[in-house]
Amino acid sequence: MSFKLFCTRAIASHIGVGSRIGFDATSSLWLKAGYATKTINLTSTTYPNTHRNPDFAKVSNSDVLFFRSIVGDNQVLTDDLDAYNEDWMRKYKGQSKVVLKPKTTEQISQLLRYCNQHKLAVVPQGGNTGLVGGSVPVFDEIVISIANMNKVRSFDEASGMFKADAGVILENADGYLAEHDHIFPLDLGAKGSCFIGGNVATNAGGLRLLRYGSLHGSVLGLEAVLPDGTIYDSMHSLRKDNTGYDLKQLFIGSEGTIGIITGVSILCPARPKSVNVAFLGLESYEQVQETFKKARNELCEVLSAFEFMDRGSQVFASRFLKMAHPLSPDDENEVPEYPFYVLIEVAGSKKEHDDEKLESFLESVMEDGTVADGVVSQDESQLRTLWKWRESVSEASTIDGGVYKYDVSLPLPKMYSLVETVRKQLGERQLMSQEDTGMPVVDAIGYGHVGDGNLHLNVCVREYNKKVETALEPFVYEQVQKERGSISAEHGLGFQKKHYIQYSKSPVEIQMIKDLKKHYDPNGIMNPYKYI
Amino acid sequence: MSFKLFCTRAIASHIGVGSRIGFDATSSLWLKAGYATKTINLTSTTYPNTHRNPDFAKVSNSDVLFFRSIVGDNQVLTDDLDAYNEDWMRKYKGQSKVVLKPKTTEQISQLLRYCNQHKLAVVPQGGNTGLVGGSVPVFDEIVISIANMNKVRSFDEASGMFKADAGVILENADGYLAEHDHIFPLDLGAKGSCFIGGNVATNAGGLRLLRYGSLHGSVLGLEAVLPDGTIYDSMHSLRKDNTGYDLKQLFIGSEGTIGIITGVSILCPARPKSVNVAFLGLESYEQVQETFKKARNELCEVLSAFEFMDRGSQVFASRFLKMAHPLSPDDENEVPEYPFYVLIEVAGSKKEHDDEKLESFLESVMEDGTVADGVVSQDESQLRTLWKWRESVSEASTIDGGVYKYDVSLPLPKMYSLVETVRKQLGERQLMSQEDTGMPVVDAIGYGHVGDGNLHLNVCVREYNKKVETALEPFVYEQVQKERGSISAEHGLGFQKKHYIQYSKSPVEIQMIKDLKKHYDPNGIMNPYKYI
């Protein structure tokens, strides 16, 4: 049996050779949602039960004078601070009066020491692309932006060791590495805006995790400033170091609550010379799992992504992309009837070998009936087109008005049942209909990184609706808890999920996390009202 | 140019198809060393400046009665405790009067809570294969052995998630996984004796780190008992979980100082279907680096080990193995004149592809003169033989009497210069000669994991000698500090390196480590006199 080649004939006019669709800091995505308007309500108004901590001082003129003496007049901003107060989703808005833009780790140390002594609350800010309101103030916290710390420090081609300031934009880091035939071991939609320091602070997962593992493995050293101004410097070039607790690990995923990351040392793999993508149609979620199992076994070292999408997500993508679906190139605007779709990417050092492995794998899963249909990209442009059918789902989900997004981890066998359970719940409460525009919910769709057990559940709505919210929360979190999943696979806790951590963590774990927060930040000045 | 095939003709009678040479708990390796005899001196005698902490209680009869009530009479040992008091190197010997062998996490919790309340000091013990005296008592600490906790809990073939008790022997874990076409992401010489809980507690590196990364990346969840008896349970099956500080990371490499690991959840890759090995001769250390750089780039996803050895290490291996060297099969007992040797292993899912990649890589590095000579194994037996020339160096180093072993990490370009510096130092002090048997030192040799920047420096001696020790310490540590290396790449701190941590860590880091120790173990009962 030979495998279909992907033909872009029908869609050639729609798709150019652009970069992947991703988050864009200037995107109007969330403006469509009923609860996000051009004018964002203050977080304090939207969440009246969250109160400013009266222990914190308010910024005085003498504070501002001190800040200017440290970072210079131009790097203390007091006007037009919306870009720093508002989050990327346009859901949260703080009231900070001062933004500081230090240029060195030493300056951050002096700023934090002062803030800690004077009980001035602080929000560390990177590229401000977070999705849980973690990088903007809730009230009048001082914003410390690391945007001015954006230099590559060093790269060693022999070992792949890359060292840079925390404010280097992810795409720039990857571009720098590409020139040296290396790859940043992390990739995500927001790469054009997000900072590598923010990636580490939020333990970003993204699209390369299946292949290159998590930042807990690839980050080899960090430089960070603790709340009291102490500079923690472990900017090693060492893959192995067994002398004491691995302190840097605490900062990976700490979301700015125990310090500000100022430097990152990370191990970067050689850049694959060849990349190819297959796009498959499957009859059941069991077959998705079976295909993944076989792909891990047969594609082994060249497997670099294994993404799945349900049919609903492809219907939204189709409406958004306005192009023929890869598996029905002749029927524009028609999505085939397969309930599940899988995108497999292979990447390696020798194209012929990768192609041969991929083709032999595909023939085997089609012959034994695990996969019903599929196509393989023939060039870079087709590869990007296939990826669009996965990557556009996020943005496409808002096409009817808005979306409730849940980013959860679940054990693989249970992953998709969450979507089915939520659909059932919304159906029983008579909140969901694709046809009846009087219903608030259009559809609940699921897609995500099978390799990471990471499901994106999008509840696509026509309007923001309290009944929908009540039907979803804490229902979704309860379902995740039942399966010992995580209520935040990638995005973190931030402001949005602070009060939901008990669905993922036991009382013992929560207490341990609180104890550590207190240990490092006894005055609680770092990114307050969030995380824990 | 075509590449030599490895011919085992001359050595076929010496080498059988056995498992790799490794540590063996019953080995007499260290007995040869002048400072390790059949009767081991008490640690308290060898190190008279280390004093028992008078705050700790001594074990009373009523304590023993309590222990029996928890774990049962048979699991409280009070006689013949040498195997628990003496370390594998036969260098340290404690004076514990009680060994406890709990069978459940709940029992460990009750034991620790009691010990903490009664200020009874405790040593957690796994397979007792450590190399820094970390797993045996210094004075009369109670030994808590996890040998009875040795069950596989679960394995999920779809995701590769493996969960097991901490007392499972590494080789058994890997054997279990082999039956399911998977591989434990860690391999080391002591695998027949060491426990996976001990591997995690010491952050073992081993032979698969280059390919599969460190335990900080592959361990996905842990179960551990804190000093106060609290059970910390994060035995997740999740690759992604961004809800709070990644607490488990603190236990990875904590060497039993803040708790006892009782369960491990770890991500296991699909087992490669094909493995091959090349053994090369090179003219300089620069060429070793250049070969590594090219191997990372060209072998990319199939590269699974890159080990180097200097000529001295091959001379010792040759005397020990008593077989013809792979690069001079016709001259038995003769090691070729190349100053450096490299072993490259490739592992992948398709043998023809791997072989083709390896051969094309080897042809290219030989054609451009980076590599001077080399052979490739043709079957499993030859592969094992080639590995012996790397793996036997450790044991071979003791052939003249004993060895001072240093396990350090250094930035790649500086790695070998440590060996040269030490040779110079020993030469200048007139302590080293291969011919003059009146000299204490025979040779200083270097070998190790290039991929991990991990150098094993072995100073091979005819006798234990204070002058040699004075010439080496703190000299070696000072050299490592100069290059911002680590004085313990793999083995940990234990008792041996407790007082040397300042050569690898800054005062800030040391203070942070001490603070964490106090945070979790305020009474200091966990593995005292060690680590920090």
Q: In B473-486, which positions are buried (b, 16+ CB within 10 angstroms) versus exposed (e)?
A: eeebbebbbebbbb
pLDDT digit string (tens) for A309-351?
999 999 999 999 999 999 987 776 789 999 999 999 999 999 9
CB contact under 8 A, A240 and B492: no
Q: Which of A399, A259, A383, A436 is nearest to A315 (CA)?
A: A399
CB contact under 8 A, B412 and A245: no
What is the mean pLDDT of the segment spanning B363-375? 96
CB contact under 8 A, B159 and A412: yes
Q: From the CA of B519, how many Å to the nearest CA of chain A? A: 8
B136 token code pair: 């045996």
Question: Taking CA atoms, what residue in B is nearest to A155?
Answer: B411
What is the mean pLDDT of the segment spanning A132-149? 98
Q: Which of A238, A298, A449 sits opposite B349 (nearest CB)?
A: A298
Q: Which of B356, B357, B493 sits opposite A244 (nearest CB)?
A: B493
* Location of structure tokens 């929908």: A468
pLDDT digit string (tens) for A259-316?
999 999 999 999 999 999 999 999 999 999 999 999 999 999 999 999 999 999 999 9
Interface mutation target, options A239, A289, A497, chain B, most CBs of B under 10 Å: A239
CB contact under 8 A, A353 and B349: no
Q: Which of A240, A489, A512 sits opposite B489 (nearest CB)?
A: A240
Grouping H, G, I as helix, E, B as strand and the rest as coil, residue B113 is helix
pLDDT at site A32: 37
pLDDT at site B5: 58
Residue B331 has pLDDT above 80, yes or no: no
A-chain CB neighbours of B237 within 8 Å are 411, 453, 484
Neighbours of B28 (CB within 10 A): 11
Q: Which of B142, B75, B79 is nearest to B103 (CA)?
A: B75
Q: Which of B230, B243, B297 sits opposite A488 (nearest CB)?
A: B243
A-chain CB neighbours of B532 within 8 Å are 244
Residue A191 pLDDT level (bands cut at 50, 70, 90): very high
> In the sheet that B152-156 helps form, which strands lie side by side, from edge to edge?
B152-156, B161-165, B260-267, B219-225, B231-233
CB contact under 8 A, B158 and A289: yes
Residue B24 has pLDDT above 70, yes or no: no
Query: A152-267 in CATH: which number?
Result: 3.30.465.10
pLDDT at site A238: 87
Q: From the CA of A65, how many Å to the nearest CA of chain B? A: 30
How far is the C-alpha of A241 from the C-alpha of B487, rounded, in Å?
8
What is the mean pLDDT of the segment spanning A156-165? 93
CB contact under 8 A, B239 and A452: yes
Phi and psi at residue A277, in whole multiples of 5°? -135, 140
How far is the C-alpha of B247 from the C-alpha of B47, rounded, in Å?
35
Grouping H, G, I as helix, E, B as strand and the rest as coil, residue A95 is coil
Choose from A36-45, A423-432, B326-335 the range with maximum mean pLDDT: A423-432
CB contact under 8 A, A246 and B253: yes
A-chain CB neighbours of B131 within 8 Å are none
pLDDT digit string (tens) for B264-321?
999 999 999 999 999 999 999 999 999 999 999 999 999 999 999 999 999 999 999 9
Given CATH 3.30.70.2190, say whether it is the number of domain A9-24+273-392.
yes
Interface mutation target, options B241, B355, B414, B527, chain A, most CBs of A under 10 Å: B241
pLDDT digit string (tens) for B204-256?
998 889 999 999 999 999 999 999 999 999 997 788 999 999 999 999 999 99
Q: Would you list the DSSP string of A359-396?
A: HHHHHHHHHTTS--EEEE--SHHHHHHHHHHHHTHHHH
Residue A49 pLDDT level (bands cut at 50, 70, 90): very high
pLDDT above 70 covers what percent of chain B? Answer: 93
B272 token code pair: 């490669």
B-chain CB neighbours of A214 within 8 Å are 217, 239-240
pLDDT at site B64: 98
pLDDT digit string (tens) for B93-132?
999 999 999 999 999 999 999 999 999 999 999 999 998 9
Given CATH 1.25.40.10, say whether it is the number of domain B9-25+276-389.
no
pLDDT at site B38: 64
Show the DSSP H helices in A47-163 as ranges: 61-71, 82-85, 105-117
Domains in chain B: boundaries = 9-25+276-389, 29-145, 152-267, 397-496
* Domain spanning A29-145, CATH class: alpha beta
CB contact under 8 A, B270 and A297: yes
Least confident of A94-98, A481-485, B14-18: B14-18
Question: Taking CA atoms, what residue in A is nearest to B249?
Answer: A249
Domain A397-496 maps to which CATH number in 3.20.20.70, 3.90.1310.10, 3.30.70.2740, 3.40.50.2300?
A: 3.30.70.2740
B-chain CB neighbours of A514 within 8 Å are none
What is the mean pLDDT of the segment spanning A213-230? 97
pLDDT at site B3: 53
The CA–CA distances, whole Å, from A424 to A286, A428, A444, A472 equal 20, 6, 10, 11
CB contact under 8 A, B505 and A246: no
Q: Which of A216, A298, A488 sits opposite B246 (nearest CB)?
A: A216
Residue B15 has pLDDT above 50, yes or no: no
pLDDT at site B36: 44
What is the mean pLDDT of the segment spanning B479-492? 94
CB contact under 8 A, B242 and A505: no
pLDDT digit string (tens) for B339-368?
999 999 999 999 999 999 999 999 999 999
Q: Which of A159, A245, A491 sits opposite B453 (nearest CB)?
A: A159
How far is the C-alpha of B10 from the C-alpha of B218, rounded, in Å?
42
Bridge partner residues of B446 (DSSP): B457
CB contact under 8 A, A239 and B452: yes
Average pLDDT, chain A: 91
CA B96 to chain centre: 25
CB contact under 8 A, B244 and A509: yes
Residue B1 has pLDDT above 50, yes or no: no
Q: From the CA of A13, how many Å to the nearest CA of chain B? A: 36
Q: Which of A214, A241, A516 sits opposite B245 (nearest CB)?
A: A516
Residue B504 has pLDDT above 90, yes or no: yes
Residue B8 has pLDDT above 60, yes or no: no
CB pairs under 8 A between A and B: 286
**Domains B9-25+276-389 and B397-496 agree in fold:** yes
How far is the C-alpha of B51 from the C-alpha of B107, rounded, in Å?
30
Query: Are B50 and B95 in contact, with CB atoms under 8 Å apart?
Result: no
pLDDT at site A451: 84
Residue A85 has pLDDT above 60, yes or no: yes
Average pLDDT, chain B: 91
pLDDT at site A4: 63
pLDDT at site A333: 73
pLDDT digit string (tens) for A403-420?
999 999 998 999 999 999
CB contact under 8 A, B238 and A451: no
How far is the C-alpha of A279 from the C-alpha of A11, rounded, in Å?
16
pLDDT at site B88: 86
pLDDT at site B34: 38
Q: From the CA of A429, how many Å to the nearest CA of chain B? A: 30
How far is the C-alpha of A28 from the C-alpha of B408, rounded, in Å?
53
Question: Taking CA atoms, what residue in A is nearest to B236?
Answer: A484
pLDDT at site B57: 98
The CA–CA distances, whole Å, from A482 to B139, B238, B315, B350, B449 equal 47, 14, 60, 40, 44
Residue A5 pLDDT level (bands cut at 50, 70, 90): low
What is the mean pLDDT of the segment spanning A499-518? 97
Show the DSSP H helices in B403-506 as ranges: 417-428, 466-472, 475-482
